């Protein structure tokens, strides 16, 4: 609870001065979905990173000095910091579509170097498979996937932080159910960091997390999934964001920076958000949500949060079902 409180109050206290500092530097972007297009400071990534880092460092000293905890927290600190740097570079200077996935592969290396993983992949209901070589590939892919997936859902006020808050709390519950208490406690700072940041990011947003904030949250979530050996269940909790990436990639058919493609949505006269009529615009989760009728930004946020809660419940059901082994593994 101490670490969670640290994470919450560091972010809660750090964001207001960060907003002032970003405004002084004119580091702000236009909120295209708001009437009049207000300028919103970005990135909030430094506050998100500070919340996670201070909380996890305190956990390093508070939790028992077991191998999984010390190595896990060290890997989380290094990988998350590296993801932040990658995102920050992209915030300041728009890089190509391949930059973030490739750079995040590098951010995943400390997990392997520190040995903060078990090379067995656990499949709910069916047991584990030993895949020592393949598992290294899974680690290399996991961090770019979780990082970019959260980044790609950061399209409207409050969605990325609110979604991560729900997914992280769900993952913490999953880890508690699976009696992996230490890693569950390591997950809570991510949830409380997201909760504190959501206070400022929700509609109407006072700050945007930017790529640095979204990648930091996504990478931290990915490390927890690996260290906690809940890769599959963690992916289930992220399903709405994964669907968003899947829809986008299957309609665009290439990895491309989202700023380089046509917007999947547009505005009605009363400034509600509606699906674009452009046939070559990508299909995204938000485009599907507003396909039937235009919605306000706030209403879209609530739909995404309902989807996140639904996926979180599926993840928790899966965790409970994991105790029932349908097919004993050898």
Q: Is 324 in the site for other proteins (CB under 8 A)?
A: no
Alpha helices by DSSP H, listed for 158-238, are 159-177, 181-201, 210-227, 231-237
Interaction of residue 129 with other proteins, rule CB under 8 A: yes
Residues 134-153, mask of contacts with other proteins (x by CB under 8 A) = x-------------------
- Which residue, 94 or 125, has its beta carbon nearer to other proteins? 125
Q: Does 101 bind other proteins (CB under 8 A)?
A: no
Query: How far is CA 123 from its chain centroid?
Result: 22
Burial class (CB in 10 A: 0-12, 13-18, 19+), 15: buried
CA distances, 213 to each of 65, 74, 194, 289 (Å):
29, 19, 10, 25
Q: How far, in Å, CA of 104 to CA of 54, rounded?
A: 22
For residue 219, give every residue at least 6 positions away whose Cβ sits within 8 Å of its Cβ, in sequence order, or none. Answer: 79, 80, 82, 83, 104, 107, 143, 146, 147
Residue 268 touching other proteins (CB under 8 A): no
- CB-nearer residue toward other proteins: 83 or 234: 234
Return the sign of the alpha-carbon dihedral for residues 19, 24, 27, 29.
Answer: positive
Least distance (Å) between residue 291 CB and other proteins: 4
The Cα–Cα gap between 178 and 225 comes to 13
- The CB-of-272 to other proteins minimum distance in angstroms stands at 15
User: Considering just the CA atoms, what is the radius of gyration of the chain in Å?
Assistant: 19
Handedness of CA 21, 25, 27, 33 (dihedral sign): positive
**Under rule CB under 8 A, residue 326 binds other proteins:** yes
Tell me the window of 55-63, 150-158, 222-230, 306-314 that interacts with other proteins (CB under 8 A): 306-314
Site string for other proteins, 66-95 (x = CB under 8 A): ------------------------------
Q: Which is nearer to other proteins, 50 or 289 (CB)?
A: 289
Selected binder of other proteins within 13, 101, 127, 204 (CB under 8 A): 127
Q: Is 51 in the site for other proteins (CB under 8 A)?
A: no
For other proteins, which stretch binds (CB under 8 A), given 176-184, 194-202, 245-253, 255-263? 245-253
Stretch that binds other proteins, among 2-10, 124-132, 176-184, 192-200 (CB under 8 A): 124-132
Q: Is 133 in the site for other proteins (CB under 8 A)?
A: yes
Is 300 one of the binding residues for other proteins (CB under 8 A)?
A: no
Site string for other proteins, 278-297 (x = CB under 8 A): -----x-x-xxx-xx-----
- Sequence-distant (6+) residues with CB within 8 A of 27 are 41, 42, 43
**Inter-residue contact 160 to 209 (CB < 8 Å):** yes
- Is 15 or 234 the residue whose CB approaches other proteins more closely? 234
Is residue 62 within the footprint of other proteins (CB under 8 A)? Answer: no
Residues in contact with 194: Cβ distance below 8 Å, sequence separation at least 6, in sequence order: 161, 162, 164, 165, 168, 217
- Residues in touch with other proteins (CB under 8 A): 123-131, 133-134, 232, 235-236, 239-240, 242-243, 246-247, 250, 275, 283, 285, 287-289, 291-292, 303, 306-307, 310-311, 314, 318, 326-327, 329-330
């Amino acid at each position: 609870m101490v670490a969670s409180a640290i994470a919450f109050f560091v972010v809660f206290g750090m964001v207001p001065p960060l907003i002032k500092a970003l405004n002084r530097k004119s580091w702000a972007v236009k909120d295209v979905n708001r009437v009049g297009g207000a300028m919103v400071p970005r990135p909030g990534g430094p506050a998100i990173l500070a919340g996670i880092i201070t909380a996890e460092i305190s956990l390093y000293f508070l939790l028992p000095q077991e191998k999984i905890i010390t190595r896990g927290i060290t890997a989380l600190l290094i990988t998350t910091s590296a993801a932040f740097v990658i995102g920050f570079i992209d915030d300041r200077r728009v890089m190509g579509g391949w930059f973030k996935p490739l750079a995040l592969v590098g951010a995943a290396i400390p997990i392997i170097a520190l040995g903060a993983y078990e090379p067995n992949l656990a499949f709910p209901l069916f047991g584990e498979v030993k895949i020592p070589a393949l598992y290294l590939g899974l680690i290399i892919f996991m961090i770019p996937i979780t990082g970019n997936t959260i980044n790609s859902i950061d399209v409207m006020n409050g969605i990325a932080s609110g979604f991560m808050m729900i997914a992280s709390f769900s993952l913490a519950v999953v880890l508690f159910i699976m009696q992996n208490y230490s890693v569950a406690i390591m997950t809570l700072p991510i949830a409380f960091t997201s909760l504190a940041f959501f206070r400022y990011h929700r509609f109407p947003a006072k700050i945007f997390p930017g790529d640095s904030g979204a990648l930091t949250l996504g990478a931290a979530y990915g490390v927890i999934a690996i260290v906690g050996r809940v890769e599959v269940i963690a992916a289930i909790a992220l399903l709405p964001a994964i669907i968003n990436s899947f829809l986008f990639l299957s309609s665009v058919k290439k990895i491309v920076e989202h700023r380089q493609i046509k917007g999947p949505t547009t505005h009605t006269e009363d400034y509600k958000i509606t699906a674009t009529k452009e046939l070559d615009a990508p299909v995204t989760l938000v485009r599907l949500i507003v396909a039937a009728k235009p919605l306000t930004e706030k209403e879209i946020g609530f739909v995404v949060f309902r989807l996140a809660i639904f996926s979180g419940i599926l993840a928790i059901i899966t965790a409970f079902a994991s105790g029932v082994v349908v097919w004993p593994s050898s």
